């Protein structure tokens, strides 16, 4: 028993694509980074389909994703998709509301952007907040749930997170303002759902692209408020296209499925991406 207690926790990583569009090279890279980190440590690699993006979400793409990963030669364990976990998002949102850490807001993005910025006692410029007006109002119609970032940070205390490259980072999500944790049209925001799911899935090493580095400030504070276990993070470098731009679905980079259909060798592509990983040092 003592030996089991002394042994380090197994590494559990995950790839968590949203079926909003087909997977491209950047996704393949991200999946390989997560897969290999787990496999090298004798751990587990999970696939989680993040399918709660309303009309933007096309669940039928999930099958394409599985075929893409298989084509790349990856093996994974699939955990329940986000659409099956709505009750846990609602319970967490209620908990934050009951503690006075979140409030309902009916503003549009445009209205929020037009609010005057506020300067805190430490000189930090917060984005405008409607918490004084929206918070106490109990209007009708769809409302988002926003975290009261001042209260949330006070309640969380100083919390730190550890990234493979950046080292120890003090969580400071103020740049997000009173960040939305439940969208008007959806049962959760990305921040709340991913944070809860990573905890529920026992993820010990969150691997994702460095474009999501800043989001981790929000996630770390949510973990502190919701008493969730704290993983480590590995924000890998992004694959850039020939113009040095991030490879994004919307910019028309060829999806993996098109390469697959045209007879490209997925295993060879995976090896090229591994070589890139080594060269890029990520
Ligand atoms: N569903 C998110 C995406 O596709 C994943 C974010 C994450 O890995 O935390 O961008």
How many angstroms is it from 97 CA to the middle of ligand 1? 25
Stretch 189-217: mean pLDDT, rounded?
97
List the CATH number of the domain containing 267. 3.40.50.620
Q: Is residue 3 part of a domain?
A: no
Query: Which atom belonging to ligand 1 lies closest to the Cα atom of 198?
Result: 9
Residue 237 lies in a domain: yes
Give the residue, out of 17, 32, 48, 53, with the most ligand 1 atoms within 8 A of its beta carbon, to mutate for a pocket test. 17
Atom of ligand 1 nearest to the CA of 207: 8
4, part of any domain: no
Q: Which atom of ligand 1 is nearest to the CA of 215?
A: 9
Which atom from ligand 1 is nearest to the alpha carbon of 17?
A: 4
1 lies in some domain:
no
Q: Is residue 7 part of a domain?
A: no
Of residues 5 and 112, more confidently modeled? 112
Give me ligand 1 centre to Cα 10, in Å. Answer: 22
pLDDT of residue 281: 77
Look up the domain containing 221 and give its range.
Answer: 12-280
Under the banding of pLDDT at 50, 70 and 90, the label for residue 273 is: very high
How many domains, the chain? 1
pLDDT of 141-179, one tens digit each? 789 999 999 999 999 999 999 999 999 999 999 989 899
Domain presence at residue 248: yes
pTM of the model: 0.91
Q: Is the model's pLDDT at 121 over the cut of 70? A: no
Tens of pLDDT, residue by residue over 37-80, are 999 999 999 999 999 998 899 989 999 999 999 999 999 999 99
CA 230 to chain centre: 14
5 within a domain of the structure (yes/no)? no
Is there a domain that residue 177 lies in? yes
- Euclidean distance between CA atoms 241 and 247, whole angstroms: 6
Ligand 1 centroid to residue 22 C-alpha, Å? 13
């Amino acid at each position: 028993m003592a030996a089991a207690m002394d042994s380090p926790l197994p590494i559990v990583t995950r790839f968590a694509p949203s079926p909003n569009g087909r997977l491209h090279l950047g996704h393949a890279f991200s999946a390989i980074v997560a897969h290999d980190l787990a496999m090298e440590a004798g751990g587990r690699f999970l696939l989680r389909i993040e399918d709660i993006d309303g009309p933007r979400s096309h669940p039928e793409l999930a099958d394409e994703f599985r075929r893409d990963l298989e084509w790349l030669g990856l093996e994974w364990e699939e955990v329940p998709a986000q659409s099956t976990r709505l009750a846990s998002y609602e319970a967490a949102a209620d908990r934050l509301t009951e503690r006075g850490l979140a409030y309902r807001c009916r503003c549009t993005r445009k209205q929020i952007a037009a609010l005057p910025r506020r300067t805190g006692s430490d000189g930090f410029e917060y984005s405008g907040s409607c918490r004084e007006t929206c918070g106490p109002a109990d209007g009708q119609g769809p409302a988002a749930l926003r975290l009261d970032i001042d209260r949330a940070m006070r309640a969380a205390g100083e919390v730190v997170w550890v990234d493979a490259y950046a080292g120890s980072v003090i969580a400071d999500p103020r740049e997000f303002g009173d960040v939305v944790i439940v969208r008007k049209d959806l049962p959760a925001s990305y921040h709340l759902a991913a944070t809860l799911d990573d905890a529920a899935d026992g993820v010990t090493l969150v691997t994702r692209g460095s474009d999501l580095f800043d989001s981790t400030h929000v996630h770390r504070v949510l973990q502190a408020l919701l008493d969730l276990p704290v993983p480590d993070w590995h924000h890998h470098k992004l694959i850039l296209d020939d113009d040095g731009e991030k490879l994004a679905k919307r910019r028309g980079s060829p999806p993996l499925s098109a390469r697959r259909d045209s007879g490209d060798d997925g295993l060879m592509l995976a090896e090229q991406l591994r070589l890139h990983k080594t060269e890029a040092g990520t």
